[in-house]
Chains A and B, each alone.
Chain A
Amino acid sequence: MKKILRFSTIWLFMGVFLFSSTVMAADTLPVGVPIPMTGWAAGSGADYFKGIKMAIDEINESGGLLGKQLEIIRFDSKGFEPEVVMQAADYLCGQKNVASVHAGWAGWGQDVRAYGKYDAPFFADDGSQAAVDIFKEDPAKYYNIYQTTDVGVEQAKSMFRALMALPYEYPNKKVVIINTDDSWGLEVGNTLEKSFKESGWKVAKRETVPYGINEWGVILSQIRRIKPALIHVEIPSGQENITFIQQFLKKPSNAIISLGWGITPREVVDALGNSADGIVGEMPSGLPGPKAPNAKAQAWVDKFVGLYEHQVPAGAWIAYTAVKAWAHAVAQVGDAYDFKAVNAYIKEHGYEGELGLIKWDQNNVLRAQSGAPVVHYQVQGGELQPIFTDPPLTPYQGSQFLTPPWIK
């Protein structure tokens, strides 16, 4: 028995090694997808992957790119630890020689350094000023790095604009801001606090919380005493937002609730259903849906919903668009490995997406623009409904802001 166990262990070891070093199929064009498949970021990673997969399948079904089928090469980038990100870059670009990398959220600067060593176009959804600052250190070296969303500061400003533009009379000028203690949460929280103060609001409470808080009793009792007109919660994860709303609704106060990015993980509306009605939030680089602004976009939304059986989560559409933008550039240049030309094309021409032209700015950041706007939502009838697109801040066609049912 002991002997058998011992031998099986050794064989297991060897098997794993052999299995891992599988040989790549020839005559395909490899595309790198370093997305967290385990750990705390795996949830949002899965959403990006849906968009990327959809784009690549579409390209392959229509005959591939330059006559070659695209092949997805995945890498588990876990929690964006420096060594893991570096390893992913060296594996995908150095070892597998991928033609481009589509990462979704990939970190806050470590990704720029890791992929900046190579030339293959790298698309990330960091939304972080720190990542842009690294780019600015050496724009010539990092010329292949593209951010597919605006930075947290700008997104927060957009949130503020939308909150102020709501067709709703705030009973007072007190706001409570709750945000996570990671770079995203702090960037948004700080910007909001500043914006509110500048326009004469009182930030009655600012709470920075760690991930994993599910007991909100203490904070909610403080909120009840403060009686704010507005509560903004910025936690980019589903669970905390759901427990917050559920516990808030047990004895709601007369406040507009804004969940920021936290409204986009599908489980929030799935778990809360109709009880979430009235909550507002936003999605950066979003495609408004379920009712899209034009026929092309509507076809896209319908296709996505048909494939995955739920509405579009944050990141899926822009990840899709990034793949398409790259593929378009490659088709124009005629050589996927002429990185200089491909990058130059992407930078110069941008891409004509479902909502119109998208273009990266001089820091290779896809600033909020009409081709890829920040979409502000309200939950109505248990589903996200767009109410504004920004910039410019425009009420969404046929939409209407409804006063939340808990406000008396």
Chain B
Amino acid sequence: MRLKHMIAIIGVCYGIMAVLPIFVGDIRFVMNIMIMCLIWAVVASCWDLMMGFAGIFSFGQVAFFVMGAYCSGILAIEHSVPPVLAILMAGLFTAVMGVLVGLPCLKLAGPYIALVTFGVHMALQPVLRGKIGIAIGSGGSVGLLTIPPVSIFGYSFSSANIVPTFYLTLLLSLSCVLVIMFTIKSYWGVAFLALKDSQDFAMSLGISAFKYKLMVFALTSFLTGIIGAYYGHFYGVLSYRMLDLDLFSILMVMMLVGGLGHFPGSVFGAFLVVAGSELMAPLGAYRAVTMGALVVILVLALPNGMMGLFIGWRKRLSAG
């Protein structure tokens, strides 16, 4: 997809989002859903960059998200670091963790990478909950309950003043997504695609698989960590329960709905899925049944997600 189209789609998505508070700014329930859309859009996009573009089948995205959230929360609570600074430090921390996790993965084949990264996810829960976690201030099994909200020049962005907070989230989310977009369209992105299509050939052209794969680990975990940290400060509470499989599956659904490897489909997918899932929350178990069935049907019927559908329509339009 050309840069022009990407910008257009991201522009439309975020543009609509930016206008919506005029109509629903006083309905906190809807504003919350929108903030969640913006947050998960970044995580889904990072995951898409990893899986769809770099072809690394990593399952560690939620783990990095939680690491970032906890890191920033602990810094803010235990060491009284101002939230803005704490968020940045959390991003750097998760970037380092990303590289550390990435290193052993580079030698492995698909399902093994998935397993190692998922192993990090699975092991994070007992670590946060156990003695190690309590020693670093994770609050053990209770989690963190008193994370201060982000405040800039004495103005605090919390759920009490939701509209300004929404715009701050929008700004953060948009910048993360733009970083991802420019990465995909830069020399890096081309290198990723080349590596994914034929690693041997790309390497013979002098593209270092090692360097680029590590970079993609660092970048995606940095962005995921930042948005995770922001999530922690927004909600003010964190619990290791986020590492249960539910969130993991929903994120996967977001990418699928958008179209794997069809950025900015994941942004679009996140908006649709978060909104749909929240609207279905009163349905209880039927929500999960529907979500599951939707994934199966989507993979079979819409291999490239909603984005594939758009591309198809555009082609048909230009042909006819």
Contact = CB atoms under 8 A, between A and B. Distances in A.
A/B touching: CB–CB < 8 A: yes
Interface of A: 2, 5-6, 8-9, 12-13, 16-17, 20-21, 37-40, 42, 73-76, 78-84, 86-88, 90-91, 94-95, 108-110, 113, 117, 128, 130, 134, 181-183, 185-186, 210
Nearest to B238: A82
Q: Is the interface of A mostly helix, strand, loop or mixed?
A: helix
B142 A37 contact: no
Contacts of A108: 142-143, 145, 239
Given A16-B276, A95-B27, A186-B141, A76 B235 contact: no
Nearest to B275: A17
A74 B284 contact: yes
B238 A130 contact: no
A74 B241 CA distance: 21
Given A82-B235, A110-B145, A87 B29 contact: yes
A95 B141 contact: no
Contact of B236 (A78, A87, A113, A128): A113
A75 B239 contact: no
Sorted from nearest, which 3 A-B pairs have the closest CB atoms? A37-B284, A20-B279, A5-B301
Interface stretch (B96-104, B196-204, B292-300): B292-300
B287 A6 contact: no
B28 A182 contact: no
Interface residues of B, number: 49
Contact of B282 (A17, A38, A76, A78): A76
Q: Point out which of A20, A37, A87, A186 has the most chain B C-beta atoms below 10 A from its C-beta.
A: A20
Contact of A40 (B33, B130, B244, B285): B244
B280 A20 contact: yes
A348 to B, nearest CB: 29
Given A6-B309, A110-B239, A17 B28 contact: no
B126 interface: yes
Nearest to A80: B241
Q: Is the interface of B mostly helix, strand, loop or mixed?
A: helix
Interface string B135-159: 0000011110110000000000001
B247 interface: yes
B281 A39 contact: no
B237 A110 contact: yes
A186 B129 CA distance: 11
A13 B235 CA distance: 29
A42 to B, nearest CB: 8
A12 B244 contact: no
B27 A94 contact: yes
B12 interface: no
A76 B288 CA distance: 11
A92 B278 CA distance: 12
A163 B242 CA distance: 37
B175 interface: no
A76 B301 contact: no
B28 A90 contact: yes
Contacts of B27: 94-95
A36 to B, nearest CB: 9
B36 interface: yes
B239 A82 contact: yes
B282 A75 contact: yes
A286 to B, nearest CB: 25
B208 interface: no
7 contacts: A37-B285, A74-B284, A75-B282, A80-B241, A86-B235, A87-B278, A90-B29
A78 B143 CA distance: 17
B32 interface: yes
B287 A79 contact: no
Contacts of A90: 28-29, 32
A75 B287 CA distance: 11
Interface string B215-245: 0000000000000000100011111011010
A243 B288 CA distance: 29
Contacts of A82: 235-239, 242
A130 B143 CA distance: 10
B302 interface: yes
A375 to B, nearest CB: 26
A390 to B, nearest CB: 26
Contacts of A78: 246
B33 A39 contact: no
A362 to B, nearest CB: 21
B283 interface: yes
A81 B130 contact: no
A12 to B, nearest CB: 7
Contacts of B143: 108
Interface in B116-173: 126, 129-130, 140-143, 145-146, 159-160
Given A5-B301, A74-B282, A80 B126 contact: no
A113 B234 CA distance: 12
Contacts of B246: 38-39, 78-79
A91 B272 CA distance: 18
